[in-house]
Amino acid sequence: MASTARQTSRKSIFITGAAAGIGRAVAERFAKAGWFVGLYDVDEAGVMALRRQLGETNCHAGRLDVSSPEDWAMQLRAFHQAAGERLDVLVNNAGISVTSPFEEAELVRHHRLIDINLKGVVNGCHTALPYLRSTPGARVINLCSASALYGQPMLSTYSATKAAVRSFTEALDIEWQRFGIRVVDVLPLFVNTAMVANDVSKMKTVQTLGVRLSADDVAHCIWRLSQGAPARLPVHTPVGLQTRFFALLSKLSPDAINRFVTARMAGH
C-alpha cells in the first residue's frame, strides 16, 4: 500500500482529506518542494492514484476515517516510520458540510459532520502529539473557515464545528508551546472545490459574494505557515481579501451589525 523507504533528511507532512480539493493541492505543493507527503482520506482509491502521480518514493498513502481513533493510530504509526521517524507538519483538512435549513437535514447528518469536522481534529492532534514532540519545530495547521467568524444560515452545524476548531486551535497553541509545537489555522471563505460546487453553491451568500479562492490559494497559505519562524506565526490566517475584510469587520463592529450583514447576505 505504501512506500517503506526511510526519508530522514526530508521534512514530512501528514494531510487528511488529501484525495481532492484543498488537501490534494497541499500535497502537490509540498511534494513539488521535496517534502515527504502523507496522503490520507476515506477515498483510498483517490489517494493511491495521487501517490502514483507524485511518485511512490515521495509519499505514503492510506485510508483514514478521521472520526476513528484506531485509524489515526495505525496510519500515523506507519507514516512516521516511512518518513524517517519525523512529523514536521500535521494538516487537519478533512471536512464535510451540511448545507440546508437546520431542521431539514437528518440528525444523523449533523452528528456525522461533528464527528469529522471537530472530532477528527481532536483525534488527530491527540494521536499525533508523540510524533510532533519528537520533531523539532513541528506545527499543526487546522483548516478552519470564515464561517467561524459568525454563524452562517444554512451552515449552522458546519459553522459551529469551525468555531470550535478556532477555539481549539487557540487553546492548544498556548498549551503546546511548552513542547515547542505551534498550532495555527487558516480561514478561507468559499473555495472552488467540489464541496462548494456541489453543495454550498446553492446558498444565497455564495451567489452574493461569489467564489474567489482556489484550492491552490489555500495551499500557498499553508506553505507559508510551514516556512515561517514558529514564534512569528499568527494563530489565525484569513485567506483572501474578502475573508480579511470580514475578519476585521467581526472585530470592529458590534454583534448587531455583524448579525445584520450576515443575515442580509444570506437573504434573510
Q: Which of 244, 19, 228, 66 is nearest to 146 (CA)?
A: 244
40 in catalytic set? no
Look over the chain and give the mean of its residue pLDDT values, rounded to a whole number. 92
Report the pLDDT value the prediction gives residue 8, as an integer from 0 to 100.
Answer: 58
Report the pLDDT value the prediction gives residue 1, as an integer from 0 to 100.
Answer: 41
Report the pLDDT value the prediction gives residue 183, as an integer from 0 to 100.
Answer: 98
Residue ranges of the domains in the chain?
12-265
pTM across the whole model: 0.93
pLDDT digits (tens, 9 = 90+) for 113-169: 999 999 999 999 999 999 999 999 999 999 999 999 999 999 999 999 999 999 999
pLDDT digits (tens, 9 = 90+) for 221-251: 999 999 989 989 999 999 999 999 989 988 8
Distance CA 151, CA 174 (A): 25
Report the pLDDT value the prediction gives residue 109, as an integer from 0 to 100.
Answer: 97
Which string of b and e fits 160-178 if b means at least 16 CB within 10 Å? Answer: bbbbbbbebbeebbeebee
Report the pLDDT value the prediction gives residue 4, as an integer from 0 to 100.
Answer: 40
Report the pLDDT value the prediction gives residue 196, as an integer from 0 to 100.
Answer: 75
Please give the CATH topology (third level) of the domain spanning 12-265. Rossmann fold (3.40.50)
Q: Is residue 208 very low, low, confident or very high in pLDDT (cuts 50, 70, 90)?
A: confident
pLDDT digits (tens, 9 = 90+) for 33-59: 999 999 999 999 999 999 999 999 999
The C-alpha cell 511518485 sits at 55
Residue 83 sits at the vertex; the CA angle it makes with 81 and 85, to the nearest 5 degrees, is 55
Q: Are 215 and 24 in contact (CB under 8 A)?
A: yes
Residue 220 sits at the vertex; the CA angle it makes with 9 and 114, to the nearest 5 degrees, is 95
Distance CA 118, CA 233 (A): 23
